[in-house]
Structure 1
Amino acid sequence: MKYYLGVDAGGSKTYAMIADEQGTVIGAGRGGNGNHQKNRGQAEDSLQQAVSEALKTAGLNKDRLEYSWFGLAGADREADFRILRPIISRLGLPRTEISCDTWNALRSGTEKSYGIVLICGSGVNCAGKNPAGTAYQCGGFGYRFGDFGGGYDLSVEVFRSVLRADEGREGKTVLTERLTGLLGYASVAELREDYLDHYRELPPHIAELLFQAAEEGDRVAAGLLMKQGDELGLAAAATIRQLSMEQDAFDIVLAGSLLTKGDRSGIISSAIEQRVKQAAPNGTLKILTREPVVGSVVLAMESSGQQVNREVLERLSAAELPRTTG
């Protein structure tokens, strides 16, 4: 029997999963932050913890693993890989591959080996692969480098909109009362003065205020969500053109908490679809319902030459992952 390890590591959690060649999951583990750009030492500890826990619950030694795939947030450039290769090497696994976490999210969300993935969580990213296997990443480096959105950027947009509304530069919005309440201020004036006097980071969960406000008909909130969707759609359309996929039929996988959990009314996804359909009429939006770590296991299997059918994918998807760190 052959065994495969898949790992998905982001800024808040790291998952590891071990499965056999039929897709039966026999071990899983969890760690905290796995993004080296956030904290290198912490990321290495999280990867070590998650992998060790998965091996322990599977009852396997490292040398029993046929192949291991690591989908890691922040694995974007060669400079990142120079940091990550030694970290993964120190795990002592036989055969490994490292990729950006966009690729395991894509493979988890589609039964095809190609397609487009859009991630909108704390930040945003877009990547794609065409039927010939050519890959392209569009963005993923933040606002200064052309991106817009995700929890961090949208939190700033909420903050700005509330201040602008208070000054009369923006329409009135229910976000005013909700933001001041969430941050513990009696008024916008009090909030403004405190933030002018003290440098404070805005918590990314402020972005969550947008969804309920938009569902209630708040025009400012709905406008920000539409802008988020349009920007993601522009990234997807650019990727489609770069990969010459305009005439192909493929899935556009929507991943990240703001797309999979937050966008209940579909404002963001509708704006994405409008842009995507202009670029590729046969592209189909699919919200990611599986854990991205499933895609890492699939990529490990395929890298060793194994074909992954729907039954294997369904078995992998049915596994429960640990909810707390050990």
Structure 2
Amino acid sequence: MNYFLGVDGGGSKTLAVVTDEHGQILGRGLGGCGNHQVQEELARRSILEATSEALEQAGLTRRQIRYAMFGLAGADREADFRVLRPMIAGLGFPAHGIVCDTEIGLRAGTRQTDGVVLVCGSGTNCYGVNRLGESLQCGGFGYMFGDFGGGGELAVEVFRTVIRAWEGRERPTLLTEAVLQTLGYPSVERLFHDYLDRGAGAPIHLTKLLFQVADRDEAARRILQRQGEELGLAATTVIRKLDMAEDRFDLVLVGSVLTRADHRFVTPYIEESVKPVAPACHLRLLTIEPAAGAILLAMEKSGRPVGESVYERLESGLSVKEA
């Protein structure tokens, strides 16, 4: 029997999964932040903790794993891989690979080996691979480097919209009451001065307020519309550059802003951008853990074909209940 390990190391948690060659889940492990760009030693400990727990549950050793695939947030450039290669090699798996977490998100969301993925969680990213195996990443490096949105920046948009409405630079918004209640302030004036005095940043959980009021609030809808348009722009850029306009493929939507929120305020704008460019493209919400994509890539890297029963077992064993 062959055994495989798939790891999804994100900014908030790390999930490791061990399966057999049939896709049966044998063990799971959880760790903290797996992004080395946040803190290298924390990422190393989180990945070690998650993989060790998964192996212990499965009753296996590292030497028994045919192939281990690590899908890690922040694995974007050669500078990142110079940090990650020795870190992952030090875990002791005989055969292993490292890819960006966008790649495992794509592979988890489609049964094809080609496609495009859009990520909108704490940040944003876009990645695609065509039928020839050519790949391209667009974004993932923050606002200064061309991105817009994700939970961190959307929270800032919520905060600044409330301030601008208070000052009179924008129309009144339901976000004001929602922010004051969430953060526990009696007035925007008190909020304004306290955050200035402390040099505090906008808490990321303010992003969810957009979805709570969007059906009744123009300002919230406007922010979410821009998020959808920006994601659509990234996707169409990747599609054009990889010459995928005539292809039939899945555009996989990954991340809490797209999968665990009321995405009807975002996804229509993605579709409006993408469909004229790639009519045969199909938008698909990711409904299983991205770690499933790491398992599939591990199997493929080892030369093992992936059958329908493997997909079915992974979809059953790693479904995301809140998707």
Q: Confirm or deny that 1:243 pairs with 2:242.
A: yes
Deviation at 1:7, TM superposition (A): 0.4
State the match for 1:152 in structure 2: 152
- Partners of 2:174 and 2:110 lie apart in 1 by 38
State the match for 2:55 in structure 1: 55
State the match for 1:234 in structure 2: 233
Deviation at 1:320, TM superposition (A): 5.5
State the match for 2:266 in structure 1: 268
Give secondary structure in 2 for the equivalent of 1:262: coil
Amino acid at match of 2:150: G
Question: What pairs up with 1:178-217 in 2 under 5 angstroms?
Answer: 178-215=178-215, 217=216
- Partners of 2:203 and 2:168 lie apart in 1 by 25
Question: What pairs up with 1:30-45 in 2 under 5 angstroms?
Answer: 30-45=30-45
Question: What pairs up with 1:299-310 in 2 under 5 angstroms?
Answer: 299-310=297-308
Question: What pairs up with 1:24-173 in 2 under 5 angstroms?
Answer: 24-173=24-173
- Partners of 1:209 and 1:310 lie apart in 2 by 40
- Partners of 2:262 and 2:124 lie apart in 1 by 15
CA RMSD of aligned residues (A): 1.0
Deviations 1:152-175 (A, max 9, x none): 110110111111111221111100
Give secondary structure in 2 for the equivalent of 1:136: strand
State the match for 1:312 in structure 2: 310
- Partners of 1:13 and 1:158 lie apart in 2 by 25
Deviations 1:119-177 (A, max 9, x none): 00010000000011000000000000000001111011011111111122111110011
The answer to whether the Cα contact below 8 Å between 1:19 and 1:25 also exists between their aligned partners in 2 is: yes
Deviation at 1:189, TM superposition (A): 1.0
Q: Which moved more, 1:186-195 or 1:292-301?
A: 186-195
Tell me the matched-pair count: 319
Give secondary structure in 1 for the equivalent of 2:266: helix
- Partners of 1:230 and 1:320 lie apart in 2 by 30
State the match for 1:324 in structure 2: none
- Partners of 2:284 and 2:307 lie apart in 1 by 19
TM-score, length basis structure 2:
0.97
Deviations 1:283-315 (A, max 9, x none): 110000010000000000000111112210111
Give secondary structure in 1 for the equivalent of 2:83: helix
Deviation at 1:180, TM superposition (A): 1.5
TM-score, length basis structure 1:
0.96
Deviations 1:202-248 (A, max 9, x none): 11110100001102x20000010000000000000000011011111
- Partners of 1:157 and 1:278 lie apart in 2 by 29
State the match for 1:252 in structure 2: 251
Deviation at 1:263, TM superposition (A): 2.6
The answer to whether the Cα contact below 8 Å between 1:114 and 1:130 also exists between their aligned partners in 2 is: yes
- Partners of 1:69 and 1:314 lie apart in 2 by 20
Deviation at 1:317, TM superposition (A): 2.3
- Partners of 1:235 and 1:160 lie apart in 2 by 25
State the match for 1:225 in structure 2: 224
Deviation at 1:74, TM superposition (A): 0.5
Deviation at 1:56, TM superposition (A): 0.8
State the match for 2:5 in structure 1: 5
Amino acid at match of 2:231: L
State the match for 2:287 in structure 1: 289
- Partners of 1:198 and 1:30 lie apart in 2 by 34
Deviations 1:169-199 (A, max 9, x none): 1111100111122112111111111122220
The answer to whether the Cα contact below 8 Å between 1:263 and 1:269 also exists between their aligned partners in 2 is: no
Q: Which moved more, 1:178-187 or 1:232-241?
A: 178-187
Question: What pairs up with 1:12-31 in 2 under 5 angstroms?
Answer: 12-31=12-31
Amino acid at match of 2:140: G
- Partners of 2:49 and 2:212 lie apart in 1 by 37
- Partners of 2:33 and 2:315 lie apart in 1 by 23
Give secondary structure in 1 for the equivalent of 2:304: coil
The answer to whether the Cα contact below 8 Å between 2:292 and 2:318 also exists between their aligned partners in 1 is: no
State the match for 1:280 in structure 2: 278
